[in-house]
Each structure stands twice: as C-alpha cells, then as structure tokens.
Chains A and B, each alone.
Chain A
Amino acid sequence: GQNIDQPTEMTATEGAIVQINCTYQTSGFNGLFWYQQHAGEAPTFLSYNVLDGLEEKGRFSSFLSRSKGYSYLLLKELQMKDSASYLCAVLDSNYQLIWGAGTKLIIKP
C-alpha cells in the first residue's frame, strides 16, 4: 500500500527553527508537495520537489531525498502566524496525489 508518515504535532518557539519530516512509500514518484493549512481554512501551496536537494524560498526550505523516501520542510525565524498544519503530499506513478495526515505546528512565544 501507499503510505506517508509525518509527526502528528510539533511545538517550537517564536524566532527559532523547526524541521518537519515526511517519509513516504508510494508506487512510483513524480514529486512531493508541501502545503500549509491554518485551522478552518483551505491549504495553500508552499513547495514542490522532484529532484534531490534543497529548495529555498524565503524563510521556508524543502529538502528531498528520493533514495531514502524522505523530505523535510524547514521553517526559520518562526513567527506566531506559522502556527498551522503542514501537509506533505506525494504524486505517485499514476499522478495521483497521496496526502499525509499533516503535522500540527504550535508556536509558543
């Protein structure tokens, strides 16, 4: 079966750095997405990785290792508004998007 694992919940301090991990086992791979979802709102797109390595976008970076079936989202200089759920999703060989359950990130002052 297809499986995506993310921690259920993480807590971090304002101004700090946090890394949210995602491991996946899917039938094929055509890229990995990260989305942010605030409570009661729809997800918004953060990043897409299809090649190994680190992609940086301002305070957010996303890393991919296809050989390890692993990705992480790195958030720097955390702000209170970063409190949200972060969803990892993988595009499989049939171009079906497989969603992880999401990681709820709690930022404390």
Chain B
Amino acid sequence: GAVVSQHPSWVICKSGTSVKIECRSLDFQATTMFWYRQFPKQSLMLMATSNEGSKATYEQGVEKDKFLINHASLTLSTLTVTSAHPEDSSFYICSARVGREVQPQHFGDGTRLSIL
C-alpha cells in the first residue's frame, strides 16, 4: 500500500532555531501533500496544502513566512518552522494522496516538535 515517510520523528531545540521536517511518498507520486498540526487531545488542524511545482495554499491564520513549505518534487515536501518558539511545540503530521480528492490520505508517522 501507499507509504509516507516523515523525518525526523522527534525534535527538541532551543527557541529561535529553524527546524525542517521532510515528508516523502515512498512508492507513489504525490501531486498533493498536506501538512497538519495537532495539539494534545485536539483534532487535526490543516495548516497548508502543498502542490508540486507551485506555491502552497495556507489555511487562514497560518503564517506563511513562519511555516515555509517546499514541494520540489512529486515525492518530497518539506515544512520549515522558522525561528521556532515554545508555542510552536506540537505534533506535525504530513499526508499525501494518490490521485483524486476522493482517495484517502496516507499519513506519515508525525514529528513531535518541542521548543525549549
């Protein structure tokens, strides 16, 4: 089945550091990838939709200059949290879809980000 790989799994770093998270589709080409954030005991919150070769579409309230998304190829999308602060600490999850919107999203294992 479709597999999505996300790295790193855990990141602990100091305030002010920029952190890059990678999301790869391993056995399929993903035209569209999604980035979510999930705070403890809350549901998934879509941050942005990433389309290969074009600019990401950000959800309302998500700062595009703080959360930089690059989808340079059909198998790789990256999320960079720039100048991270403690309030950015969260569980970040990417997903990818094979084909049309009615297909299910396949999720990476998530990245737990802790900013000290």
Residues of chain A touching chain B, judged by Cβ–Cβ distance below 8 Å, are 30-31, 33, 40-45, 48, 50, 87, 91, 95, 97, 99-102
Query: Known contacts being A87-B43, A99-B43, A100-B43, is A43 close to B102, with CB within 8 Å?
Result: no
Quick check: A30 and B102 within 8 Å, CB to CB?
yes
Cα-based distance from A44 to B42 in the complex (angstroms) = 17
Query: Known contacts being A41-B109, A42-B110, A45-B106, is A102 close to B101, with CB within 8 Å?
Result: no
Quick check: B93 and A42 within 8 Å, CB to CB?
yes
In the complex, what residues of B have CB within 8 A of residue A102's CB? 43
Quick check: B104 and A45 within 8 Å, CB to CB?
yes
Quick check: B46 and A97 within 8 Å, CB to CB?
yes
Cα-based distance from A30 to B101 in the complex (angstroms) = 9
In the complex, what residues of B have CB within 8 A of residue A33's CB? 104
Question: Which DSSP category, helix, strand, loop or mixed, fits chain A's interface?
Answer: loop
The 6 closest A-B pairs by CB, nearest first: A95-B101, A42-B107, A45-B104, A101-B43, A42-B110, A42-B93
Query: Known contacts being A97-B46, A102-B43, is A31 close to B106, with CB within 8 Å?
Result: no
Closest residue of A by beta carbon distance from B108 = A42
Cα-based distance from A86 to B111 in the complex (angstroms) = 20
Which B residues from 87 to 116 make CB contacts under 8 A with A? Answer: 91, 93, 95, 101-102, 104-110, 112
